[in-house]
Amino acid sequence: MKTVEQLKTRIQELGRDAAQFSQQAVDISQSNREQSKTLMQRAKEASKRCQLLIQELKRQNT
């Protein structure tokens, strides 16, 4: 089990990754649809992992 600080740090990293992937997908959506779809999928996966860690953090704080 990770410490609260480790969870917070990882949550921030995953949130940043999700935002970057999403922005990159939007930026190239007109020129490369396939790569845009891949980046959006990566953003979605990072977001899901982030949400799971947020739930874990909430469990540890209760």
Burial profile 5-35: b = 16 or more Cβ within 10 angstroms, e = fewer: eebeebbeebbebbeebbebbeeeeeeeeee
Confidence of residue 1 (pLDDT cuts 50, 70, 90): low
The predicted structure's pLDDT at residue 32: 95
Cβ–Cβ under 8 Å, residues 18 and 40: no
Whether the predicted pLDDT of 7 surpasses 80 = yes
Nearest to 14, CA basis, from 38, 44, 49, 40: 49
Per-residue pLDDT tens for 18-53?
Answer: 999 999 999 999 999 999 999 999 999 999 999 999
Whether the predicted pLDDT of 2 surpasses 90 = no
